[in-house]
Amino acid sequence: QVQLVESGGGLVQPGGSLRLSCAASGFSLDDYAVGWFRQAPGKEREGVSCISGSALSTYHADSMKGRFTISADNAKNTVYLELNSLEPEDTAIYYCARRDLKFCAWYGLRAADFRSWGQGTQVTVSS
């Protein structure tokens, strides 16, 4: 059974950092791509980053490049999302999800391409 469990969210001041974790079970990160998405109140779900199976490649949405970094520890079967220089506009629920293919899509992240989802972790950026 595929399961994804996010953790690491919380309240942080503007300019601060967080590291989110996505613990995967029921499959190997060697074989599937995992993405991070976020959804702010009243807004559509937005793709953030993706890492291919075996960490062969990564993708970051343009608005997050330079501030967010995705990585994976395949031995722990865990994907991480490092959030730096956080802004109030980054406040959202952050979700990780598994794509049913090994590689991230060349066109970026679409929620419809990811079938298995975690429950999300809340990130709040506020002074």
Residues 6+ apart with CB under 8 A from 43: 92
> What is the tens place of the pLDDT at every residue in 99-116?
999 999 988 899 999 999
- Provide the pLDDT confidence category of residue 125 given band limits of 50, 70 and 90: very high
Q: What are phi and psi of 109, to 5 degrees?
A: -110, 125
Mean pLDDT of all residues belonging to the chain: 95
The three-state secondary structure class of 88 is helix
Q: Span 121-127, mean pLDDT?
A: 97
> What is the tens place of the pLDDT at every residue in 19-50?
999 999 999 999 999 999 999 999 999 999 99
Q: Are 46 and 39 in contact (CB under 8 A)?
A: yes
Q: Are 15 and 85 in contact (CB under 8 A)?
A: yes
